[in-house]
Amino acid sequence: MNDDRVNELATKLARVEQRVQAACEAAGRSRADVKLIVVTKTYPATDVQLLSGLGVTDVGEARHPEAGRKVAECVAAGLHLTWHFVGAVQTNKAANIARYADLVHSVDRLRLVHALDAGAQRAERVLDCLVQLDLDPSDRGRTGQRSGTSIANLPAVLTAVAAADWLRLRGVMTVAPPRSDPAESFDRLSALAAEMTAEHPAADLVSAGMSDDLEQAVAAGATHLRVGRAVLGERPSLR
Ligand SMILES: *Cc1c(COP(=O)(O)O)cnc(C)c1O
pLDDT the model gives residue 141:
52
- Mean pLDDT score of the chain: 95
- Segment among 51-60, 137-146, 148-157, 161-170 with least mean pLDDT: 137-146
Task: From the CA of 147, give the closest atom in ligand 1.
Answer: 13
Task: Report whether pLDDT(238) > 70.
Answer: no
The answer to whether the CB of 41 is under 6 A from ligand 1 is yes
pLDDT digits (tens, 9 = 90+) for 155-196: 999 999 999 999 999 999 999 999 999 999 999 999 999 999
The answer to whether the CB of 227 is under 6 A from ligand 1 is yes
Closest alpha carbon to 102 in 183, 37, 20, 180: 37
Within 10 angstroms of residue 15's Cβ, the number of other Cβ atoms is 12
pLDDT the model gives residue 236:
78
Question: What is the mean pLDDT of the segment spanning 136-145?
Answer: 64
Find the 106 Cα to ligand 1 centroid distance in Å: 12
Question: What is the mean pLDDT of the segment spanning 11-21?
Answer: 98
pTM of the model: 0.96
Task: Report whether pLDDT(60) > 60.
Answer: yes
Task: From the CA of 210, give the closest atom in ligand 1.
Answer: 9
Find the 169 Cα to ligand 1 centroid distance in Å: 22
pLDDT the model gives residue 2:
82
- Overall size of the chain counted in residues: 239
Domains and CATH numbers, the chain: 3-232 (3.20.20.10)
pLDDT the model gives residue 233:
96
Within 10 angstroms of residue 5's Cβ, the number of other Cβ atoms is 15
Query: What is the rounded CA–CA span in Å between residue 64 and residue 31?
Result: 31
Question: What is the mean pLDDT of the segment spanning 130-151?
Answer: 80
Task: Report whether pLDDT(239) > 60.
Answer: no
pLDDT the model gives residue 140:
56
Task: Report whether pLDDT(222) > 80.
Answer: yes
The answer to whether the CB of 225 is under 6 A from ligand 1 is no
By alpha-carbon position, which residue is closest to atom 12 of ligand 1? Answer: 86
Task: From the CA of 173, give the closest atom in ligand 1.
Answer: 13
**What DSSP string describes 143-206?**
TSS---B-TTTHHHHHHHHHH-TTEEEEEEEE-PPTTS-HHHHHHHHHHHHHHHHHH-TT--EE
Out of 9, 38, 39, 216, mutate this one to test ligand 1's pocket (max ligand atoms within 8 Å of CB): namely 39
The answer to whether the CB of 232 is under 6 A from ligand 1 is no
pLDDT digits (tens, 9 = 90+) for 88-113: 999 999 999 999 999 999 999 999 99
The answer to whether the CB of 62 is under 6 A from ligand 1 is yes
